[in-house]
């Protein structure tokens, strides 16, 4: 389950980082 998220813009790409609470890790999505 996603517990937190943030996004930033870098080199013409939007990078969205999702914090997955139950797995204790992060997931990255690029747009």
Binding site for other proteins (CB under 8 A): 3-6, 8, 10, 15, 17, 19, 26, 28
Cβ-based burial of 20 (10 A; exposed 0-12, middle 13-18, buried ≥19): middle
CA angle 18, 8, 14 (to 5 degrees): 85
Output the smallest distance, CB 16 to other proteins, in A: 10
Smallest separation, CB 2 to other proteins (Å): 11
Minimum Å gap between C-beta 1 and other proteins is: 14
Nearer residue to other proteins within complex by CB, 8 or 31: 8
């Amino acid at each position: 389950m996603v517990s937190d998220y943030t996004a930033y813009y870098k080199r013409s790409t939007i990078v969205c980082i999702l914090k997955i609470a139950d797995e204790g890790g992060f997931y990255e999505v690029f747009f």
